[in-house]
């Protein structure tokens, strides 16, 4: 393949057809000579645009961009400072820009080349107004050009970065947040601003929401909620296998001490973070991380949490490239303190579940017309943390609630109040048995996809029957259906303007209609199942559960440690009265129950 070349101004090339059969070849749309405006609504102004063709991601490096800039007349000395950024496909300039200053950044860009043949690269001259270099996976290796200044000059990228610790949990007024004149702060990176997203404390968390009928202000810790306002994410229901743990307590040693934690693996780069309180003689917490990535080496995770104090700055520090989603259930709990009722809940759910930005803004306008204060409150929470329309799609999961962690915590309920070694053993044995159970279920499955993915795709196919696809050339289709639903599908890029395909990695109803049309016109495209992301393949499911938890010997066969240190048990604290296994109802829920009893008559004594 010939080396790269800068395309003539009037030339037009169909890169999809020209690069067909060459998955590593791509083009760059180079934006140079301009500058970025401030966030939000960021634009690149006063610049020029050139196309560079025939780039090979296998040999591509930052030095290639240096040569392009030199050929375009922007590098006239060794002291020229240039900052390179690339735009994630279908992203915007507010949230879709990433640094392009190291080999790790080039590798990040390479993940998009197979499906996207034109990548936008933006150049800043002299200084940067973005935080992308602070987010680079390895900022210490970010080098743009060689300069003759002493090494201390490299710190100029980070001079305006605020690493001050969190001192309080108050909700800042957005008008009081000062914009830095040098760095345009993005909501996802301002880790010293913490919105009012935590429930006041864990004991006030309205987790299950139904009264036990005794008239007390307590309820079961781990039972499912039966509130009318409980969010049910039907697209991400948790289907778990039953694991029999009744024999566990017959085989444990009663002389060991207390608490523990564990994690459960998955395939997508999506982690749920949660904790459960231990209420007993040795109080504490069992912290869990559910659904790790398959390789265990990726730092570009997507985290889902209930926004407990400390999680936001910790994730921003340890995983600067990670996304962090907030559990919609907890956002609604905070919203109910000021705006209650089914209308507000439905509008919040509509804002969160719509898959494209246009419909998101329409839903937000409905909320604004209903109550401007509620609109302003919700607008403070970055939408990329709770609204599907702003998710990047790299996790191939559009979950809005942290149900997977809640499900895991409910499974270990019987073991988390045990002594520490017993608790860890309970979790280990639970995971060991679950892997075997799932492995048996896998053997029963017939088909290319997992049962859940098959159900989702079958439902999509039934809806796709109502849509008509019109071929427009270059692999693109105009797909129209009922209710004026019309979208653009690019089968080659596996994308749709409704954004559902990119979000979950399964063709949407528009995509399925386009695939069917290609098949009817004698194009060798295969079945819709072949377009599903590998994380839903049955072979991937088998691979993830091919790893087993090894059995271990009992305590009587343990070898004596050579370490002379003796671990003392924690101080025993005898709780007053009957051990508390329930938690206090939140103020909002208590108020709701009081109103219900007033409507139903006097409380039965």
Q: Do the bridges between strand 468-473 and strand 582-584 make them parallel or antiparallel, or are there none, so unpaired? A: unpaired
- pLDDT at position 598 is 64
Long-range pairs, 231-236, Cβ under 8 A, ≥24: 231/328, 231/329, 231/332, 231/349, 231/400, 231/401, 233/399, 233/400, 233/401, 233/403, 235/398, 235/456, 235/504, 236/397, 236/398, 236/399, 236/400, 236/401, 236/403
428: left (phi over 0), alpha (psi -120 to 50) or beta: alpha
**Amino acid 599: pLDDT:** 58
Q: In the 8-state DSSP scheme, what is residue 129? A: -
Residue partners of 283: CB distance under 8 A and separation at least 6? 277, 573
Gyration radius of the chain's alpha carbons: 27
CA pair distance 304, 401, nearest whole angstrom = 8
Say whether pLDDT at 133 is over 60: yes
What six digits make up the tokens of 602?
């006097």
Token pair listed for 254: 């009663």
**Running DSSP on this structure, what letter comes out for residue 192?**
T
pLDDT at 306: 58
Please tell me the predicted confidence (pLDDT) of residue 490: 94
**pLDDT tens-place string over residues 347-392:** 999 999 999 999 999 999 999 999 999 999 999 999 988 999 999 8
| Higher pLDDT among residues 107 and 234, named by residue | 107
Model confidence at 42: pLDDT above 70: yes
Strand partners, 473: 476
Mean pLDDT of 196-219: 38
Q: Which residue has the higher pLDDT, 81 or 158?
A: 81
pLDDT in tens, 316-343: 666 666 777 888 988 998 899 899 889 9
Place of tokens 């000059």: 153
Closest to 348 measured CA to CA, from 357, 406, 333, 356: 333
Note the pTM of the prediction, 2 decimals.
Answer: 0.53
- What would the two tokens of residue 127 be? 């200084």
Per-residue pLDDT, 353: 94
CATH of the domain spanning 5-158, picked from 3.40.50.12280, 3.10.20.90, 3.40.1550.10, 1.20.120.350: 3.10.20.90
3-state secondary structure of 169: coil
Residue 57, pLDDT above cutoff 50? yes
Residues 259 and 282: beta-carbon distance below 8 Å: yes
Task: Name the residue ranges covered by the structural domains of the chain.
Answer: 5-158, 257-326+404-446, 451-531
Q: Are 445 and 538 in contact (CB under 8 A)?
A: yes
Q: According to the model, what pLDDT value does residue 500 have?
A: 94
3-state secondary structure (DSSP) of residue 80: coil
pLDDT per position as a tens digit, 217-254: 443 443 334 344 445 565 555 555 566 555 544 343 33
pLDDT in tens, 573-604: 676 776 666 656 666 667 676 776 665 555 44
pLDDT band at 279 (very low <50, low <70, confident <90, very high): low
């Amino acid at each position: 393949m010939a080396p790269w070349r800068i395309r003539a101004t009037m030339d037009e090339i169909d890169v999809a057809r020209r690069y067909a059969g060459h998955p590593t070849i791509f083009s760059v749309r180079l934006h140079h000579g301009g500058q970025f405006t401030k966030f939000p609504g960021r634009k690149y102004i006063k610049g020029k645009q050139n196309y560079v063709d025939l780039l090979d991601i296998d040999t591509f490096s930052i030095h290639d961009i240096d040569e392009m800039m030199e050929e375009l007349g922007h590098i006239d000395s060794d002291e020229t400072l240039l900052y390179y950024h690339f735009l994630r496909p279908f992203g915007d300039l507010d949230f879709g820009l990433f640094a392009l200053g190291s080999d790790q950044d080039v590798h990040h860009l390479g993940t998009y080349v197979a499906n996207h043949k034109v990548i936008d690269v933006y150049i800043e001259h002299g200084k940067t107004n973005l935080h992308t270099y602070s987010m680079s996976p390895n900022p210490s290796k970010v080098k743009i050009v060689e300069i003759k200044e002493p090494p201390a000059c490299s710190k100029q990228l980070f001079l305006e970065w605020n690493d001050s610790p969190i001192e309080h949990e108050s909700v800042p007024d957005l008008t009081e947040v000062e914009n830095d004149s040098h760095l345009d702060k993005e909501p996802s990176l301002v880790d010293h601003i913490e919105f009012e997203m935590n429930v006041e404390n864990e004991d006030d968390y309205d987790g299950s929401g139904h009264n036990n009928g005794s008239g007390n202000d307590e309820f079961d810790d781990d039972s499912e909620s039966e509130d009318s306002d409980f969010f049910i994410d039907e697209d991400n229901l948790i289907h778990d296998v039953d694991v029999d743990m009744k024999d566990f307590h017959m085989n444990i040693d009663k002389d060991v001490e207390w608490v523990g934690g564990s994690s459960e693996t998955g395939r997508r780069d999506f982690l749920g973070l949660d904790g459960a309180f231990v209420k007993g003689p040795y109080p504490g917490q069992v912290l869990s991380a559910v659904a790790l990535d398959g390789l265990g080496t990726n730092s570009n995770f997507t985290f889902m949490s209930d926004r407990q104090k400390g999680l936001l700055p910790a994730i921003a520090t340890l995983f600067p490239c990670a996304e962090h989603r907030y559990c919609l259930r907890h956002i609604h709990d905070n919203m109910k303190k000021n705006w209650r009722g089914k209308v507000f809940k439905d509008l919040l759910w509509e804002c969160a579940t719509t898959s494209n930005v246009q419909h998101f803004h329409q839903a937000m306008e409905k909320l604004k017309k209903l109550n401007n204060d509620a609109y302003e409150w919700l607008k403070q929470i970055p939408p990329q943390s709770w609204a599907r329309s702003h998710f990047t799609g790299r996790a191939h999961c559009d979950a809005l609630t942290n149900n997977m962690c809640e499900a895991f915590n409910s499974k270990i309920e019987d073991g988390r109040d045990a002594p520490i070694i017993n608790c860890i053993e309970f979790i280990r044995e639970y995971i060991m048995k679950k892997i075997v159970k799932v492995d048996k279920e896998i053997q029963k499955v017939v088909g290319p996809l997992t049962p859940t993915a098959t159900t989702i795709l079958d439902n999509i196919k039934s809806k796709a029957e109502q849509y008509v696809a019109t071929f427009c050339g270059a692999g693109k289709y105009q797909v129209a259906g009922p209710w004026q639903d019309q979208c653009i599908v690019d089968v080659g890029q596996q994308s749709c303007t409704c954004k559902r395909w990119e979000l979950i990695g399964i063709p949407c109803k528009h995509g399925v209609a386009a695939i069917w049309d290609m098949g009817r016109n004698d194009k060798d495209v295969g079945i819709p199942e072949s377009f599903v992301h590998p994380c839903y393949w049955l072979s991937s499911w088998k691979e993830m559960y091919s790893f087993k938890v090894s059995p271990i010997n009992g305590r009587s066969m343990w070898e004596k440690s050579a370490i002379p240190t003796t671990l003392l048990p924690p101080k025993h604290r005898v709780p007053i009265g009957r051990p508390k296994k329930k938690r206090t109802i939140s103020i909002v829920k208590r108020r709701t129950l009081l109103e219900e009893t007033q409507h139903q008559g006097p409380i039965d004594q």
